[in-house]
Structure 1
Amino acid sequence: MGNMTLSKTKQKLALFLLLFLIFTSMHMQFPVLTPFAVSLGATSFMIGLMLGATSFVNLGGNLIAGIFIDRAGPRRFIIIPLLLLAVSLALHFFVADVTHLFILRMINGFLLAFLTPACMTLLSSFADNRREQSKNMAVNTLMVTVAMAVAPFIGGKIGEWFGASWTFVAISFVMIAAYFLAGRTIQSNLIIRSYRKEPSYQSLIQLRLFPVYITAFGIMYAQGTLMFELPFLSVETDFSKGDVGILVSMVGAGTLISLALFFIHWISPYVRIFLGLAMMCISFGWILFYTSHIPVAGPLLLFGAGTGIVFPAMMTMLTERIPEEARGRGFALLSAIFSLGTITSPFVAGMVRDFISPYFIAWIVLMIVVMVMGLLEQNGEEGTAPAPVAESLFR
């Protein structure tokens, strides 16, 4: 089937499936990456440095990607990175020392820097109004969540049965499938337009977008802490890789629960963000004070539920507050802030985990974000007087 024969609806459905495959490949790695690095001789500090450096490369790549996506459209920046990622992941099979793994992780981070904002920019083009935009972002979160729920379990089981090297081979095949799907379904003429004045990153640094940015950093710091700490359970305790995969899947299961609450999308994105952040704070407090710093299903489900509330609201707020011609840069900047949170969390966790729980640091970060969001809400979303309760909740 040729590209030009597909309607926008079919392309959108194909994009949702593509996003599922991409995030499946990403989350299959979580249960096996840390044990794999440890088996090569990496220390906890080295692992934190590797994850942080990967995210740093991702951050820089995001800022570069946004410019090219706005100029040339997203198609080539989806298809080419998918092919290169498939090759890079397959090369993990031949890794013999930590240096090789370090290099491959940085290559992966740079390629993902183009792939993620390109997909989100393309997805944002399929909506004609706020309600459609919110629906599309919610379905996107659903695809990511299903991947989070099943992929870690699959990755952990493959790692148990065949070893980490073969897990990366399996992930490579997932990316190959995504490459062929993208090549057959994504058109090249949806985003490219001419504008009298090219947008800039400076135009995206404004107070009305601050709630989106601070939320993005906070949730990725918290999620990065979880994804750094959970795999260590299979190294330091009697947890198996499959057990760790199940725990990571609990986050996805919690997100599915919150996405089932369809009525929540009628509430203001700002209120949803605040509610989701509060749930994440409670989940980390639960881990710290009631489970002896060893995560169990309950707090992970609650964290996932908060994620399912925050992500669609955050994406909707971003698309509402930036012009269409700057969405490539907008999603690239948001991805860069995601990366900043992901850079900081494993680096800090690797440095302090022998002295203080990384979960405590993440809890403090989330509490600060909630406090700042509360101050912003007290002064009104746009820096004006607070709106009436009903108007501020449903708008």
Structure 2
Amino acid sequence: MRQTAVNKLHIFMVMFFISLVMSIQSPIFTPYAATMGASSVLIGIMLSIASFTNLTGNLVAGPLSDRFGKKVFIIISLFLSGILFIFHALVSSSMNLIVLRALNGFSLAFLIPSGLALLSEYAKNSHQQGKNMAINGILGTIASIIAPLIGGKLGATIGYANTYLVIGISLILTAIYATSFIKERQHMVVKANQSNKLSFLHILQMPQLQIVFLTGFALMYIHGVIIYEVPYLTVERGLSTTTTGQLFSFMGIGTFLSLSLLFINRFNPIKRLMFGLTGMNMVIFIILKGLMSLPVSLFFVGFFFGIIMPAMATALTDSVASSGYGRAFGVMSAIYSLGMITSSFITGVIRDYISPYFIAFTIGMLTLTLIGYSKFQTNTNSSSHAPTQY
């Protein structure tokens, strides 16, 4: 029991450092690309390419991690990403940056599905799964609060290129730590009436997971708009990257608060998804209309983000057997990437003509409508197949 706790602690530490190091670049990538002459459209293409290669890698990572284990892909991905981030510091043109973003997107695709699947295997039941995801979420949120501040400060003091050098070296050190301390574990959770081998098609056909994937797409589309638009303030308004980092930290504080409300985990995860997406749509509408200051708005974006993310992970682990975690988390990560691809590309193209927040609000509301219709259809079908009482 004690050894299991120690092994989980090492996984939590690795996941925390991944979140911390990766979030450091959030306030600096857009201005870094802009200094190389990249237009808003080209920056959108860069983000989209990274998300597209990430999507491809997610679909490859799932089956491979189920077959060969999670640890090996976590370590390889960390080493490769660290090297690629170091090369970020050495680029001399926006075209070089596009190539590196594409390669790095594919490399990073193995990290999150493998990490979440490995963490889920250290649970004996659904309650422990939820607890593990909650702790991971809290640690990731802490990282998201402090990392933008670190990234913004580093960008302002040592420059964008040197900041990417720090990111790359940090990931390599994390890979060395993971090599030494992360332990693989056999599947612990067994669910009745489920095949040990799930195909991607089978996963996509599960009604509950369809709701999860729809929510994930909408959430990451909205997140992509925030990630694109907030750093762009440094370009349009001449703000410091430190200011941008502070804005992202407001979002992290909101997420931390919602994750700390442990009683929320007692509610059905699908209902939490719908509640969180409704709140997210309302906040995006407020940002669109300028009804609230941006720091406060981002705080509430983070709050509802913290409600949605653990609920999606819990709904997923409740729906599939542990032997299919890699595939399921791979599909979910691919959906995330698809949302980012669509968001980054559309935002870069239309931002000079129409507010990206309006498109995000429209997609969020459309997704909420589809989820409501799906729930209605499921309840109707269940009622029609119920035995008649006499």
Q: Which moved more, 1:376-385 or 1:133-142?
A: 376-385
- The structural deviation recorded for 1:83 is 1.0
Contact 2:118–2:185 (Cα < 8 Å) also in 1:
no
Alignment gaps of 5+ in structure 1: 387-395
Map of 2:76 onto structure 1: 80
Contact 2:84–2:104 (Cα < 8 Å) also in 1:
yes
Within the candidate set 42, 47, 53, 1:46 is matched to 42
Q: Give the SS at the match of 1:31.
A: coil
Indicate how the Cα distance of structure 1 residues 317 and 197 shifts in structure 2: closer, same or farther if over 3 A, else same. closer
Map of 2:57 onto structure 1: 61
For 2:39 and 2:176, the matched residues in 1 are separated by 38
Indicate how the Cα distance of structure 1 residues 185 and 381 shifts in structure 2: closer, same or farther if over 3 A, else same. farther
Contact 1:73–1:191 (Cα < 8 Å) also in 2:
no
Q: Deviations over 1:332-380 (max 9, x none)?
A: 0100000000000010001100000001100111111222222334445
Map of 2:253 onto structure 1: 253
For 1:381 and 1:205, the matched residues in 2 are separated by 19
Q: Which moved more, 1:349-358 or 1:102-111?
A: 102-111
Contact 2:4–2:122 (Cα < 8 Å) also in 1:
yes
Indicate how the Cα distance of structure 1 residues 266 and 65 shifts in structure 2: closer, same or farther if over 3 A, else same. same
Within the candidate set 94, 100, 104, 2:96 is matched to 100
Contact 2:79–2:175 (Cα < 8 Å) also in 1:
yes
Instruction: Give yes or no for the alignment of 1:28 onto 2:27.
Output: no
Map of 2:324 onto structure 1: 326
- The structural deviation recorded for 1:277 is 0.6
Q: Which moved more, 1:214-223 or 1:96-105?
A: 96-105
For 2:140 and 2:286, the matched residues in 1 are separated by 25
- The structural deviation recorded for 1:384 is 2.6
Map of 1:366 onto structure 2: 364
Map of 1:204 onto structure 2: 203
Corresponding letter in the other structure for 1:280: M
Corresponding letter in the other structure for 2:146: V
Map of 1:354 onto structure 2: 352
For 1:138 and 1:71, the matched residues in 2 are separated by 27
Contact 1:231–1:244 (Cα < 8 Å) also in 2:
yes
Within the candidate set 11, 14, 29, 1:15 is matched to 11
- The structural deviation recorded for 1:240 is 1.3
Q: Give the SS at the match of 1:94.
A: coil
* Normalised TM-score (structure 2): 0.93
Alignment gaps of 5+ in structure 2: 385-390
Corresponding letter in the other structure for 2:278: A
Contact 1:258–1:308 (Cα < 8 Å) also in 2:
yes
Contact 1:63–1:333 (Cα < 8 Å) also in 2:
yes
Map of 1:390 onto structure 2: none
Count of matched residue pairs? 379
Map of 1:337 onto structure 2: 335
Map of 2:387 onto structure 1: none
Q: Deviations over 1:275-307 (max 9, x none)?
A: 111111111011011259xx6111111110101
Instruction: Give yes or no for the alignment of 1:305 onto 2:303.
Output: yes
For 1:215 and 1:234, the matched residues in 2 are separated by 30
- The structural deviation recorded for 1:91 is 1.3
For 2:140 and 2:380, the matched residues in 1 are separated by 30
Indicate how the Cα distance of structure 1 residues 381 and 260 shifts in structure 2: closer, same or farther if over 3 A, else same. farther
- The structural deviation recorded for 1:191 is 4.8
Corresponding letter in the other structure for 2:106: F
Map of 1:225 onto structure 2: 225
Map of 1:288 onto structure 2: 288
Map of 2:182 onto structure 1: 186
Contact 1:73–1:190 (Cα < 8 Å) also in 2:
no
For 2:377 and 2:291, the matched residues in 1 are separated by 37
- The structural deviation recorded for 1:381 is 6.4
Q: Deviations over 1:141-178 (max 9, x none)?
A: 11211111110111011000111011111112321231
Within the candidate set 66, 69, 72, 1:70 is matched to 66
For 2:323 and 2:55, the matched residues in 1 are separated by 21
Q: Give the SS at the match of 2:70.
A: coil
